[in-house]
Every structure is written in C-alpha cells, then in structure tokens.
Amino acid sequence: MTTASSPLGSGPDSPAEALVPDAKTAMGWMHTARFLTTAAQLHHLPPIHLPEIAFVGRSNAGKSTCINTLTQQKQLAYASKKPGRTQHINLFALGRQQATDAVLADLPGYGYAAVPKADKIRWQRVMANYLVSRENLTGVVLLCDPRHGLTELDEVLLDVIRPRVAEGLKFLVLLTKADKLTRAEQAKVLSIVRLQAGGGTVQMFSALKRQGVDEAAQLLWRWAHPSGSDAPIAPAADDAPADADTGGGADGVSPPPSAPGTDSPPA
C-alpha cells in the first residue's frame, strides 16, 4: 500500500505548465509514432539514448488501446478483447523521421489469471528489471481500470518504481474506460486513487469517448521535452523512408537486435 508520506510524482502541473504545448502540437507529435522494435527479453532491447515512456498495468487495462488512441493509429499497438495479447515489450519511435526524439514502450500486462505461474513469475521479473534498470526510462504511465482500482500487483509496481520516482522519474496513473463510469463515480475513484498514489498525477481516460486524450498527450510531450522546446515535427521534404531510423543509430536509436517474434505489426 502506498502512503501519502512517500509521494509518487510531484502532483498535478500548474495551470501555466498545463498549457504547453497546445493540444494540436502534442497530438501531432504523438501521431508520428511508428513501430521500432519488439523484444521478449530485456537484453534484446536496443540501448536508446532518448526519453522512453513505458505503459504498464494489469492485463486488459487498456494499455495498447491507449497508445493507439494517443497516436491516432488504429493498429499500432495490438489491442484485444482477449487478455494477455501483448506478450513482448514493443517500442515505438516518436518525432520526425531520422529525428526520433522519444520512444513509447507497450509492456505486457500482469495479473492475467490464465497465464501459467512460471510465465507470470518470469514476466514479473522481466518487468521489474526493466523498470529498475532501463537507463533511458523517463516516465511511466500506469493504466488502471477504475472499476477495479489499484490492485495488489499495481501497488507492487509502485513500490518498484518509487526509488526512481524520488530521483525524477515521471509518473502518471491513467484510469481507463472512463466511459463505463458516471461523472460521480469518476470523481469518487479519482480521489481514492490519488490517495493511493500518494500525490502522483492521476487522470481519467477514455479511448471510446476521447476523454483525457489531449491532456495525456500534452503531459507526455513535456516529459520528453524538459527544456520546453521541440524541433518542428511536420514531415521534411528530404525525409528518409519510414524505417530509416531503426537502422543507423544516428538519431539516438541504435540498430535493434534480432528479437524472436512480434505481436505488433510494423507500422
């Protein structure tokens, strides 16, 4: 259980900060997302010297759907009614072609009952190692179905990242599927989860109703651009082919190693 005496994150942004960048800029940046690589194990992930933002949470919480909604792409991340669909760490590059400026990571969900115990334990170890040791990890978005609230496994995850949050790792809880709750229910669950998250930023999100989408995109942009500036993201006339930035390492992305299988088709 998290406590308010040990806050996660610095709380909501000030109103002035929340205006930068405007929603159009943030959503345009998000829309540049393209598949980068996939890995079943941590050591298969390429070292990347750019801000990386990980989407974590229970299986079926809506991580892949959230990435697709933020990036305005229907099938970038593999979303499914069947829990446990995402089984690899899938990375997506953001920014202009050959000027990637950040990476999104879609992680497999945890807590799916039908997964064999050995697989569960293996995955929990991979994820804990990722959260503790991924050097360029800049922010974590924890997705949570508000009808279940933060579960025991979510709390374990909060405990794993707490030391890094104290050192500056950004942290956001998105309460997904907001469309399934009334306004009154949303207000109630927001205040409960804010207490549980010990002061971290907590927002409602609905892919279906597009609730909280702009706000989440704006916050992620700020995480990735701490200096507050950004190269223009409109496609340049001399842009290279879509997969060019996965091979050269010139824009901070090293060539991906060959990783077995993928559950997310290249964009």
Ligand X SMILES: Nc1nc2c(ncn2[C@@H]2O[C@H](COP(=O)(O)OP(=O)(O)OP(=O)(O)O)[C@@H](O)[C@H]2O)c(=O)[nH]1
**Contact positions toward ligand X, by CB under 6 A?**
57, 59-65, 79-81, 83-86, 108-109, 176-177, 179-180, 206-208
Residue nearest to Mg ion (CB): 86
Nearer to ligand X, 65 or 138 (CB): 65
Shortest Cβ 110–ligand X spacing (Å) = 8
Shortest Cβ 40–ligand X spacing (Å) = 14
Rounded Cα–Cα distance for residues 90 and 22 (Å) = 28
Nearer to ligand X, 59 or 100 (CB): 59
CA dist 38 → 17, 42, 115, 165 (Å): 34, 10, 20, 26
Taking CB within 5 to 8 Å according to partner kind, which of ligand X, Mg ion, none is near residue 208?
A: ligand X
Shortest Cβ 67–ligand X spacing (Å) = 8
Nearer to ligand X, 88 or 225 (CB): 88
Shortest Cβ 134–Mg ion spacing (Å) = 18
Nearer to Mg ion, 86 or 138 (CB): 86
Rounded Cα–Cα distance for residues 237 and 200 (Å) = 41
Nearer to ligand X, 11 or 83 (CB): 83
CA dist 125 → 42, 78, 103 (Å): 10, 22, 22
Shortest Cβ 73–ligand X spacing (Å) = 13
Taking CB within 5 to 8 Å according to partner kind, which of Mg ion, ligand X, none is near residue 9?
A: none
Separate counts of helices (H) and strands (E) for the chain: 7, 7
Q: Which residues bind Mg ion (CB under 5 A)?
A: 63-64, 86
CA dist 83 → 59, 61, 114, 154 (Å): 6, 9, 9, 16
CB contact set of 122 (below 8 Å; sequence gap of 6+):
none
- Which two structure tokens, joined as six digits, stand for 238? 């001399």
Burial of 199 (C-beta count, 10 Å sphere; 0-12/13-18/19+): middle
